[in-house]
A and B are shown apart, each in its own frame.
Chain A
């Protein structure tokens, strides 16, 4: 079966510290991968997406970056966190063509608090 793992679940980091959030998918290959941020319990904003290894597209200029070192691994990073980076981060995947009508499968999310 296909599963998605996202960790850590909760993170409290000081301003100026680095960040690394990881997302891995199991049971499928060559998925599209996405990072979303949800601020203040409201709408979801697309941050990055990837259609293949090493291929990253950024939707919003910001203090964050993403990488896809392996087919089923997607990493969200920052060199120096800002207070405004606080939020709930969600990873998601979808299979092109065969799976698009099913929508995304989401990870369980990471709650990031920058203090």
Chain B
């Protein structure tokens, strides 16, 4: 079974600064995706960024980027130029897409990020 570990329960950052959220995972699968989801106070789950394991290039979406280290099974999220609206719970998630995987998402316990003005 896959496991996802987020070792930082809470973090805070000043507005306009950069912050990195950590995530490690454990799997024996070769074919998988990794995701970061954001859950603001409204509790709506929002996809922030995704990474395909077979791609060496790190994914980037505007101010959000990842550092994907496949051998180390590490998948960190960097938020640049932090904004007040980035305040949310952030979840790292793993999905195997091997045959018969049923595409279940396994989540970490989350990191509560607070952006201070």
Contacts and interface: CB of A to CB of B under 8 A. Distances in A.
Contacts of B44: 106, 108-109
Interface string A19-58: 0000000000000101000000111101001010000010
A90 interface: yes
Interface in B17-65: 33, 35, 37, 43-45, 47, 50, 52
A88 B43 contact: yes
Contacts of A81: none
Interface string B77-115: 000000000000101010101000011111111100000
Contacts of B47: 102-104
Interface of A: 32, 34, 41-44, 46, 49, 51, 57, 59, 88, 90, 92, 94, 96, 100-104, 106, 108-109, 111
A103 B33 contact: yes
A32 B104 CA distance: 9
Contacts of A103: 33, 35, 37, 47, 50, 93, 95, 105
Given A43-B110, A106-B45, A101 B52 contact: yes
